[in-house]
Amino acid sequence: MTLTEDRAKSSQVRRLSAPDPVSRTRGSQRFLLVGLSLASVYSLFPVWWLIVAATKDRTGLYQSNGLWFSGWHLWDNLRQLFTYEDGIFLRWTANSFLYAGVGSLGGTLLALATGYGLARFDFPGRNVVFAAVVGSFLIPIALLTLPLYLLFSDIGLVDTPWAMLIPCLINPFSVYLAKVYTEAAIPFELLEAARIDGAGELRIFFSIVLRMMTTGGATVFLLAFVNTWNAFFLPLTVLRGEENWTLNLGLYNWSGKRLESGVDLTSLVLTGALLSIVPMAIMMVAMRRYWRSGVTMGALK
């Protein structure tokens, strides 16, 4: 056997022994599919348990299988939820929409303006300001809650809606996202052309920048809304009266009544928790076109 024939035979043996690229790709896809399926089950399991628990009465909660239905008492639970303590649950829902909606909308506008300024204006200390923004959103909000309480207490804003709205207006992480989106979506040439045509900076921002930042703004608003809707430690600290509480704080208070006064409101708490996730689910579905492309833009950047 010649040297050439020996090399050809060895190459053929290696090709036969090497794994098929198609089979290897299919194996990776199966592994990925199994992993995603397990992650989906893990994520949806609490939601399924909450749906099942909201349909049970007090006896069914403690004496039946927690993962399957035992009677259908959802409508009774809803009726009791909306009428308990003169419908205070509806007041908490309105408060949560006020804090999350108005606060996130104002915070998004301020974040877009700040991010646009950091991305498209050159001024002394810009890098220092941006470093401070990045460093500030690394600080846990729990560390800022007590200073905020002391500040609001000095100026008389404790137990008022402003104690929740003002912190929602300032979100360093939203500023960072707005800066990233501005750098990707707003070219310098467009701004220079607008200035040459005689447009002022405010007109450029409101007429051009905001329209081109719809995707980024929607993503910033959605993240801020979810964060404010789920806030717990801040309202626990700065809100005292029940009329100003959020949904999370109100449901937490109801869950503690069993130990304080012996009143078991577990059914109402679980039903209220189920209703509390409905607005976020609706918003995620309604704005999916914006936040999908927004997250993709941020990833590419």
Higher pLDDT, 191 or 62: 191
Rounded mean pLDDT of 46-55?
Answer: 89
pLDDT of residue 250: 92
DSSP state letters, 203-235: HHIIIIIHHHTHHHHHHHHHHHHHHHHT--HHH
Residues written for the chain:
301
pLDDT of residue 298: 45
Higher pLDDT, 214 or 25: 214
User: What's 36-86 look like in SS3?
Assistant: HHHHHHHHHHHHHHHHHHHCCCHHHHHHCCCCCCCCCCHHHHHHHHHHCCC
Residue reference for tokens 């800022």:
144
Q: What is the band of 24 on the pLDDT scale with cuts at 50, 70, 90?
A: low
pLDDT of residue 22: 57
Q: Average the pLDDT over each of 34-48, 159-173, 191-205, 283-297 and give the range with the smallest value.
A: 283-297
To the nearest whole number, what is the mean pLDDT of the chain? 84
Higher pLDDT, 201 or 301: 201
pLDDT of residue 292: 59
Residue of 102, 103, 81 lying closest to 92 (CA atoms): 81
User: Could you give the 3-state DSSP secondary structure of residue 101?
Assistant: helix
Q: What is the band of 247 on the pLDDT scale with cuts at 50, 70, 90?
A: very high
pLDDT of residue 5: 54
CA distance 92 to 109: 25
pLDDT of residue 23: 61
pLDDT of residue 12: 54
Q: Average the pLDDT over each of 11-20, 22-31, 77-86 and give the range with the smallest value.
A: 11-20
Percent of the chain with pLDDT over 90: 35
- Is pLDDT at 27 greater than 90 in this prediction? no
pLDDT of residue 300: 43
What is the per-residue pLDDT across 251-277, written as a single tens digit (0 to 9) for each? 998 988 766 666 778 889 999 999 999
Residue of 178, 46, 23, 184 lying closest to 115 (CA atoms): 178
The token pair at 29 is: 């896809």
pLDDT of residue 215: 85
- Most confident by average pLDDT, 71-80, 91-100, 131-140: 91-100
pLDDT of residue 20: 57
pLDDT of residue 301: 46
What is the per-residue pLDDT across 96-125, written as a single tens digit (0 to 9) for each? 999 999 999 999 999 999 999 999 998 888
Q: Where are the alpha helices (DSSP H) in the chain?
A: 3-17, 21-54, 58-63, 74-83, 88-97, 103-120, 126-136, 141-155, 162-169, 172-185, 188-196, 201-204, 210-212, 214-229, 233-238, 247-260, 266-276, 278-286, 288-300
Does pTM top 0.75 for this prediction?
A: yes
What is the per-residue pLDDT across 123-171, written as a single tens digit (0 to 9) for each? 888 889 999 998 887 888 888 888 999 999 999 999 999 999 999 898 8
CA distance 185 to 274: 38
Q: Average the pLDDT over each of 132-136, 148-152, 198-202, 284-288 and give the range with the smallest value.
A: 284-288
